[in-house]
Amino acid sequence: MRPGNALVLFSGGQDSTTCLAWALERFAQVETIGFDYGQRHAIELEARQTVLAGLRARFPHWSPRLGEDHLVDLAVLGQISDTALTRDTAIAMTEAGLPNTFVPGRNLLFFQLAAAVGYRRGLHTLVGGMCETDFSGYPDCRDDTLKALQVAVSLGMGQRFTFETPLMWLDKAETWALADTLGGPPLVDLLITQSHTCYHGVRETLHAWGYGCGECPACVLRRSGHTQWQAQRAQATPT
Ligand code: ZN
């Protein structure tokens, strides 16, 4: 474990929960930050709290390292974007090949705000669940974007920040496997039963891979990754 500390961008979804576990395994002190930007489903904000409570309850060795949670009101994003995440419209692909859930450049803003909070809290490692491998081509999730932003933020604040993105080159099956390595069945179970990624906010039926509609882009990735991970595990286990 490193003696330092970290601030994790935490949405209550599978990826950021896995990143939070990753940080708790590595850093002596970990705080979380989330953004309320008029999500259609308050369910995401609820998931943040239940996941945090679940981590504290199930992982006594992580619990003392898990510090304050910061929730930043970003309602302004709802005013300047017209997307399926913030308005009651159907999720579709735009002409640019991106889902219309895309709030342009939002991760740039998230990291910048996280850095401002981190600056005040003395947390100079920022951890995010962005992934270039198999998500929808969001340009603000790309490695080059975040490396450039790390430099800009460090220069602009006169303080060296490190951006860590442990999922950047993993596919969804590998993300499930990472969670299993970090926290074993209790973490995998917490992800399945408490984390939330479905764009439609569906939580009626518990599937093997978690709650969700099973059809939106986030559910499709989560489900297929889980299926693939299970198949790989079955193959790796000698009979
Ligand atoms: Zn869904």
pLDDT per position as a tens digit, 60-104: 999 999 999 999 998 887 777 665 555 556 656 555 555 555 577
In a domain? residue 226: no
Q: What's the number of domains the chain is made of? A: 1
Residue 208 is assigned to a structural domain of this protein: no
Ligand 1 midpoint to CA 211 (Å): 8
Ligand 1 centroid, distance to 215 Cα (angstroms)? 5
Q: Mean per-residue pLDDT for 195-220?
A: 90
Q: Percentage of the chain with pLDDT > 70?
A: 86
Whose tokens are 């390292």? That residue is 65
116 Cα to the center of ligand 1, angstroms: 32
pLDDT the model gives residue 201:
83
Q: What is the pTM of this model?
A: 0.91
- CATH number where 84 lies: 3.40.50.620
DSSP-based helix, strand, coil % in the chain, nearest 5: 50, 15, 35
Residue 90 belongs to domain spanning: 2-197
Contacts (Cβ under 8 Å, ≥6 apart) of 44: 11, 12, 13, 196, 201
Give the residue, 93 or 12, on which the prediction is more confident.
Answer: 12
Residue 177 alpha carbon to ligand 1 centre in Å = 21
209 domain-assigned: no
Among residues of the chain, what percentage have pLDDT more than 90? Answer: 68
Query: Tens of pLDDT along 129-178?
Result: 999 886 566 888 999 999 999 999 999 999 999 999 999 999 999 999 99
User: Sorting pLDDT into bands at 50, 70 and 90, what band is 239?
Assistant: low
Tell me the pLDDT band of 2, cut-offs 50, 70 and 90.
low
- For residue 100, report the distance from its CA to the centre of ligand 1, in Å: 15
> What separation in Å is there between the alpha carbon of 147 and the centre of ligand 1?
30
Q: Is residue 232 part of a domain?
A: no
Does a structural domain hold residue 182? yes
Q: What is the CA(162)–ligand 1 centre distance, in A?
A: 32
CA of 63 to the centre of ligand 1 (A): 30
Is 229 inside a domain boundary? Answer: no
Q: How far is the centre of ligand 1, averaged over its atoms, from the C-alpha of 218 (Å)?
A: 6
